[in-house]
Amino acid sequence: MLKEPLFHFVVLGFLLFLAGRSYQTRTDIYRIEVTPAHVAQLSRSYALQFGTPPDPATLEQLIETDLHDEMLFRQGRALKLDQDDEIVRRRVVQKEQFLMQNLHAPAEPTDAQLQAYYAAHADHYAAPSRAAFSHIFFAVGPDGDAAAQARAKAVLAKIPAGVTRAPERGDAFPDLYDFSAFEPEQVERLFGHTDFSGAVFTAPAGRWSGPYRSAYGWHLLYVANRDAPTRPPLADVRDRVRSDDLQDAQDGANTAAFDQIAKRFTIVRADRKAAP
């Protein structure tokens, strides 16, 4: 019988049947195996959230809830509800990005690397310029923008020498007239990204100048003093430099990891028509 081809065919078919059933059992979307490792993971997640491991009753409830969610998830996959779903797609992308960061975490930078990084990005850590200034405000009324500008010019021509503040010569302003140690970002937050905001850090100090336009109207400006940007020593900003260096290294590693993934794909741009 061992020499009969039919016997060989039956045995081979039976082995293939067993292998197929085994594979189907292991890959059946409707077969859920609750493993000790998975139960331990549920217990750890609970302990991380609540600070203590779950008691037996709570753990059993966690398993039941997990099975409930897993059955819904698999049924959804069977119905292909995960396809063409932007929320699912975005979540998978986020998990893959997180996985890449775990696999390519940068090494702790050395002192020499931090010094080199700081030298290459020193302007990023410099304390910005600060200015102390006063202004006279001219609102734009029914007679138009040009009229308010003309009033400002007329007042500028009559301000006596030595006067450093004169809000009464203009119109009421909804905020302060005098500012001390204001940084560019603070000035722009109040007056907008305007000619007046720029003039605070470029106009000559010690005398009135203008008029300059802001988001409110026109201003005459008196800059009392202005501090130049200062660059702190590395020791004062070491934590920031270290964090930025690690982030740049992580970004570079993520880019390299993605490039490796991208090499596996063939991109066909059917949306791009050939030039005539």
pLDDT band at 20 (very low <50, low <70, confident <90, very high): low
The average pLDDT across 210-239 equals 91
pLDDT digits (tens, 9 = 90+) for 31-78: 888 888 889 999 999 998 898 999 999 999 999 898 888 888 888 877
Please report which confidence band the pLDDT of residue 269 belongs to, taking 50, 70 and 90 as the band edges. low
Q: Express each pLDDT in 131-180 by its tens digit.
A: 999 999 999 999 899 999 999 999 999 999 899 999 999 999 988 999 99
What pLDDT band is residue 254 in, cutting at 50, 70 and 90? Answer: confident
Neighbours of 219 (CB within 10 A): 26
The yes-or-no verdict on residue 27 having pLDDT over 50 is: no
Q: Check whether 267 has a pLDDT greater than 80.
A: no
Which residues neighbour 244 within 8 Å (Cβ) at sequence distance 6 or greater? 117, 121, 124
What is the architecture, at CATH level 2, of domain 127-227?
Answer: Roll (3.10)
Q: Where are the beta strands (DSSP E) in 68-177?
A: 130-139
- Percent helix, strand and coil across the chain, each to the nearest 5: 55, 15, 30
Mean pLDDT score of the chain: 85
Give the pairing type, strands 130-139 and 217-227: antiparallel
Phi, psi at 253, each rounded to 5°: -65, -40
How far is it, in rounded angstroms, from Cα 196 to Cα 215?
9
pLDDT of residue 135: 97
What span, in angstroms and rounded, lies between the C-alpha atoms of 190 and 194? 10
Q: Per-residue pLDDT tens for 101-120?
A: 767 778 899 999 999 999 99
Predicted confidence band of residue 123 (pLDDT cuts 50, 70, 90)? confident
Locate the domains of the chain by residue range. Answer: 25-77, 84-126+232-276, 127-227
Q: Which of 150, 130, 97, 122 is nearest to 236 (CA)?
A: 122
